[in-house]
């Protein structure tokens, strides 16, 4: 997996035990979710690894996406990002 498949989550206060992340496309359609177990290895690096596939395992199309991180009490929209071919 290349370094370009990592999203920087360094400025978000994270509580690992209650963490989840979700990715949506520009139309607000759900694409991918990440559970605490999915994120466990990446939290200490403050990066989120994504294989550019949706929850069904299909490769996502190039375009603009949004990521949200949910902790026990807060849902934070981090930012939009682009997937390029």
pLDDT in tens, 35-70: 765 655 655 555 677 888 999 999 999 999 988 877
The residue assigned the tokens 């978000």 is 12
Q: What phi and psi, each to the nearest 5 degrees, are found at residue 31?
A: -120, -50
The CATH number linked to 38 is 2.60.40.4070
How many distinct structural domains can be found in the chain?
1
Q: Any long-range contacts for 32-35 (C-beta under 8 Å, 24+ apart)?
A: 32/60
Range of the domain at 48: 3-83
pLDDT attached to residue 34: 81
């Amino acid at each position: 997996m290349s370094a370009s498949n990592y999203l920087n989550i360094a400025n978000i206060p994270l509580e690992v035990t209650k963490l989840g992340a979700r990715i949506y496309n520009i139309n607000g359609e759900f694409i991918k979710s990440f559970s605490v177990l999915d994120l466990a290895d990446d939290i200490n690096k403050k990066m989120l690894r994504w294989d550019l596939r949706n929850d069904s395992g299909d490769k996502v199309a190039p375009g603009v996406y949004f990521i949200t991180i949910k902790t026990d009490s807060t849902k934070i929209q981090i930012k939009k990002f682009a997937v390029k071919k």
